[in-house]
Amino acid sequence: MDKETHLNVLIVEDNPGDARLIEIMLHDCPQFDFRCKKADRLSFALDAISASAFDVVLLDLALPDSFGLETFTKAKEATPQTPIVVLTGNDDETIALSAVREGAQDYIVKGQFDEKQLVRAINYAIERQKTVLQLHTMSFKDELTGLNNRRGFMIKADELLKISRRSTGIFTIYFIDLDGMKRINDTLGHSEGDKALIDMADIMRKSFRESDVLARLGGDEFAAAVVLESSADAGTVKERLQDKISKLNGSDIRSYTLAASIGCAFCSDSCSGLDALLEMADEVMYEEKKKRRNAPL
């Protein structure tokens, strides 16, 4: 049987005999082409992880430079999306179980597995990790637009806020509310309303940078978290959004007119957090919406 699938494996084990035995078992597997790299110190393993991508890490928790659950924690922090299978001895199963509770995909007891069991543990770990990552993505994404949902936005925007406090940039929140969504839903149907939401999400992707955090907060409300060089740039971003909305309306691809009210708020030295900034941006947006409603035709 040809080995059509190759898998990169990092074996982190300080016992040369154990590491060599695992390597031989994987080499003899007829279904997969396992390409192994070995490290006998956690520091060496972390260097390998930073230099290359691995499909799975086989990790001994008792290493010369790290021991116990701390070994797993450091490895997981270095490569959070890579499945880890813990290698343990008979007297360390309690620690191995703790590692599983903390996110390891499996553990195997050294001296008590054969080639078949080892390969199965690796494959199961890879598949379980894929499922975990898919569920994680789903829990933070808005299903209709593909943007972050409110939960994903709050987590990622808060990370961006912390980063901005260590730089000279100005952390800014945009609050965007689509106008006339009730009319679109009532007269054209909710399928057209969904298209309007998708259109707004696409406009946001084209108007902001990849480093910015974009979200549909719920209903017809959207938000963006950005770091600007100066507060004067805020108006430029808003103009860019409105310009792309106007271009969409001029393209005749929709039977409705898309419109949005946009507010923004800046984080000052006394900024009390993301929730307060969102509320401030929402208030500015609402004032703009009132002006638009009261503007003469």
Active site residues: 220
Retrieve residue 216's tokens.
């549909």
Residue corresponding to tokens 């699938």: 5
Can you list the alpha helix ranges (DSSP code H) found in 189-228? Answer: 190-207
Retrieve residue 55's tokens.
């499909």
Q: Helices 150-164 and 115-140: crossing angle, nearest 10°? A: 90
Please, which residues have CB within 8 angstroms of residue 53's CB and are 6 or more apart in sequence?
8, 82
Cα–chain-centroid distance for residue 60? 28
CA distance 104 to 126: 11
Burial (CB < 10 A; 0-12, 13-18, 19+), residue 237, is: buried
Burial readout 212-236 (b: 16 or more C-beta within 10 A, e: otherwise) = bbbbbbeebbbbbbbbbeeeeebee
